[in-house]
Structure 1
Amino acid sequence: MACPICDKPGVPAYRPFCSKRCADVDLARWLRGAYVIPGQPQDDLSSDQGADEKNHAEGLDSRPKRP
């Protein structure tokens, strides 16, 4: 199997990469967010965020407290 970064033959110790350097290059791409799945952009506000703001205003536990 060829290294996905440089197309050299893969080395079992770093599979599927050929070296630690290529493995690190791939990790850096993941951490930078270079690998993405194309699709429609998500809304800025998720449907759960409204519930979170409500819980924050009422406190985490909005049930009446016992005396």
Structure 2
Amino acid sequence: MNSTASKPRTVRCPACGGPSLYAAQNPYRPFCSERCKNLDFGAWASESYRVPARPDSAGAEDPDTPPVH
């Protein structure tokens, strides 16, 4: 068995880029602070983060949409 305690890891905060303790002692992990966590949450809530999507192909049909005649 390993009797030595592992050293807590420090990672880069995704919001500000500063050091952030990645351990149970940091309730905001992977963020460094409550402020950085809330800024990130606000960006998601306001839909500032978007996943790029390709436009529909010309021949593709939506099965839920009735055909137009």
TM-score of Structure 1 vs Structure 2, range by shorter chain:
0.5 to 0.7
For normalisation by structure 2, the TM-score amounts to 0.56
Q: How many residues align?
A: 49
1:32 paired with 2:46, answer: yes
Misfit runs of 4+, over 3 Å: none
RMSD of equivalent CA atoms: 2.3
Q: Computing the radius of gyration over CA atoms, which structure comes out larger, 1 or 2?
A: 1
Q: Point out which structure has higher relative CO (alpha carbons under 8 A, 6+ apart).
A: 2
Stretches of structure 2 that go unaligned for 5 or more consecutive residues are 1-10, 57-61
- How far is the alpha carbon of 1:47 from its aligned partner? 4.0
Task: Name whichever structure is richer in helix by fraction.
Answer: 1
Stretches of structure 1 that go unaligned for 5 or more consecutive residues are 51-67
Task: Name whichever structure is richer in strand by fraction.
Answer: 2
Q: How does 1:41-56 map to 2 (within 5 A)?
A: 41=55, 47-48=63-64, 50=66
